[in-house]
């Protein structure tokens, strides 16, 4: 009989506890699929006394993650503690350098130290699997690294943060403000007490940096990602998008361009007819555009104990089968360095919402400034606020919302035109600009 794969798990929070349960519940299936049993033989966590609803009888308890990682009785070290630094980093390094395989769901660690850890895995022969770090139950890492190994990728983009997608969904469907939806997301546990990491786009940026490396053979670099969050999005933007046939999503986009690999996270208008526009609530989705194939969209739960645990156990099963894929699909030394692409060079269509002063000559001034930058307008919508015509406030006409959709142009051209419009004093407040992904 083939010896079992002996697993040690560091971290028994929601995900770690669910991994222990899942391995126990699926023991026969795992043994059949992997050709050998999979057994949890040791664990560690901050508190041994905490009630977790787990039967840990017969399972060893290590005092520290480092002790577990160096335990010669385990074959696979599973890191589910989280955090971009210690103790996760040293524990994983120790496990890899002792020839063990490692499975982790730690996106922050992989985004920051993934190349260093991948090099150790290559050198000492163990696997470094991190499917659960991006999209939880969505098998996007294996799809890019293995399933599409023979396909040249042109673009990978997606909804990678359930909190933001939930907020934008509620705003659209119920006409609520960003602040109202965020408060409700916090009440329901979808958003943290300090939600900035999610709503400012940094969580998505970490995941996108990992996907870009897998898709394009570049070195993982979160610093190379342009990041913009969703806090500026207003209900009127979502209403306008709906009228124009679009929906607003926070997307992470990595695309091959003539100038190199562009990586960006920002609110984006996508056609309602696109697959990604149908993804609502806390669900995640990733679309891959490859040479010679139609776009592939993977949709599923992007967070949660059960979803994340399923991906962790799938990675453990690969270790049990003896699969040793290169962590980023290529040797670390073959991964290309990447620089942050200046967003002013980005080319595409734009949604622009201006609060124009309801005065003679305003429209002509705006049109002139756009024409000076060679910006062509696909559509224009002008309406009076709340449907009231010629509102008078303190003897002056109230600003009128004007919504423009441009044909493809460069970002620097858009902002040069808007700067000129503001200097002309024909608009009030700051213009709202949202990028458009046509396909």
Give 328-365 as a DSSP string.
TSS-GGGSBP--PPPGGG-EEEEEEEEEE--STTHHHH
Q: Which pLDDT belongs to residue 270?
A: 95
Asked if 207 is an active-site residue, the reply is yes
**pLDDT at residue 50 greater than cutoff 90:** no
**pLDDT at residue 14 greater than cutoff 50:** yes
Q: Which pLDDT belongs to residue 396?
A: 57
The mean-pLDDT minimum among 160-169, 237-246, 380-389 falls in: 380-389
Q: Which residues contact 190 (CB under 8 A, 6 or more apart)?
A: 162, 163, 166, 282
Share of the chain above pLDDT 70, in %: 96
Mean pLDDT along residues 140-159:
95
Q: Which pLDDT belongs to residue 388?
A: 41
Where does 128-195 have alpha helices with state H?
A: 140-142, 162-174, 178-188
The pTM of the whole model exceeds 0.75? yes
**pLDDT at residue 110 greater than cutoff 70:** yes
264: its two tokens:
């960006």
**Three state DSSP letters for 106-130:** CHHHHHHHHHHHHHHHHHHCCCEEC
Cβ distance 173 to 166 under 8 Å?
no
Q: Which pLDDT belongs to residue 394?
A: 39
**pLDDT at residue 256 greater than cutoff 60:** yes
Q: How far apart are CA 121 and CA 347, in angstroms?
A: 39
Structure confidence by residue, pLDDT tens digits, 309-342: 999 999 999 999 999 999 999 999 999 998 887 7
Catalytic residue, from 107, 142, 207, 249: name it. Answer: 207
Structure confidence by residue, pLDDT tens digits, 379-408: 888 765 554 443 333 345 678 889 999 999
Structure confidence by residue, pLDDT tens digits, 194-220: 899 999 999 999 999 999 999 999 999
Q: How far apart are CA 19 and CA 13, in angstroms?
A: 10
Cβ distance 374 to 430 under 8 Å?
no
- Say how far residue 242 (Cα) sits from the centre of its chain: 24
Which residue from 114, 160, 156 is spatially nearest to 136, judged by alpha carbons?
A: 160
Cβ distance 54 to 9 under 8 Å?
no
| Structure confidence at residue 68 as a pLDDT band (50, 70, 90) | very high
Q: Which pLDDT belongs to residue 258?
A: 82
Q: How far apart are CA 369 and CA 371, in angstroms?
A: 5
Mean pLDDT along residues 239-243:
92
DSSP string, 277-293: GG--TTEEEEEEEETTS
Share of the chain above pLDDT 90, in %: 77
Q: Which pLDDT belongs to residue 41?
A: 97
Go through the domains of the chain in sequence order and give each one's CATH number.
5-136+307-331 (3.40.50.720), 148-301 (3.30.360.10), 344-436 (3.30.70.260)
């Amino acid at each position: 009989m083939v010896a079992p794969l002996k697993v040690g798990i560091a971290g028994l929070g929601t995900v770690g506890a669910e991994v222990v349960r899942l391995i126990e519940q699926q023991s026969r299936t795992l043994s059949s699929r992997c050709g050998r049993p999979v057994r949890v033989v040791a664990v560690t966590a901050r508190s041994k006394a905490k009630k977790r609803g787990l039967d840990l009888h017969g399972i060893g308890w290590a005092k520290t993650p480092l002790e577990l990682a160096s335990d010669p009785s385990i074959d696979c070290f599973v890191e589910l503690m989280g955090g971009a630094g210690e103790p996760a980093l040293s524990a994983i390094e120790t496990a890899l350098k002792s020839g063990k395989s490692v499975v982790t769901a730690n996106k922050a660690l992989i985004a920051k130290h993934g190349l260093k850890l991948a090099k150790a895995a290559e050198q000492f022969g163990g696997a470094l699997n991190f499917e659960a770090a991006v999209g939880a139950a969505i098998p996007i890492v294996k799809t890019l690294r293995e399933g599409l190994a023979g396909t040249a990728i042109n673009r990978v983009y997606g909804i990678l943060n359930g909190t933001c997608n939930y907020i934008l969904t509620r705003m659209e469907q119920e006409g609520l403000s960003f602040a109202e939806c965020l408060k409700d997301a916090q009440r329901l546990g979808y958003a943290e007490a300090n939600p900035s990491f999610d709503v400012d786009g940094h969580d998505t940026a970490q995941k996108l940096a990992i996907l870009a490396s897998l898709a394009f053979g570049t070195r993982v670099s979160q610093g190379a990602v342009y990041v913009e969050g969703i806090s500026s999005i207003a209900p009127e933007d979502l209403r306008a998008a709906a009228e124009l046939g679009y929906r607003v999503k926070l997307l992470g986009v990595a695309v091959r361009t003539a100038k190199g690999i562009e990586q960006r996270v920002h609110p984006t208008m996508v056609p309602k007819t696109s697959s990604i526009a149908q993804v609502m609530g806390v669900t995640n989705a990733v679309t891959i555009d490859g040479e010679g194939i139609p776009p592939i969209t993977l949709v599923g739960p992007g967070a949660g104990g059960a979803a994340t645990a399923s991906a962790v156990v799938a990675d453990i099963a690969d270790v049990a089968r003896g699969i040793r894929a290169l962590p980023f699909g290529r040797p670390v030394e073959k991964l290309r360095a990447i620089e942050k692409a200046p967003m002013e060079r980005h080319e595409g269509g734009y949604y622009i919402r201006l609060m124009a002063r309801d005065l003679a000559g305003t429209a002509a001034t705006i049109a002139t400034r756009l024409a000076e930058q060679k910006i062509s307008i696909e559509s224009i919508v002008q309406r009076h606020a709340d449907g009231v015509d010629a509102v008078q406030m303190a003897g002056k006409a109230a600003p009128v919302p004007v919504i423009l959709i441009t044909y493809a142009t460069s970002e620097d051209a858009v902002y040069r035109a808007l700067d000129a419009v503001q200097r002309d004093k024909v608009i009030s407040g700051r213009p709202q600009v949202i990028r458009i992904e046509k396909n």
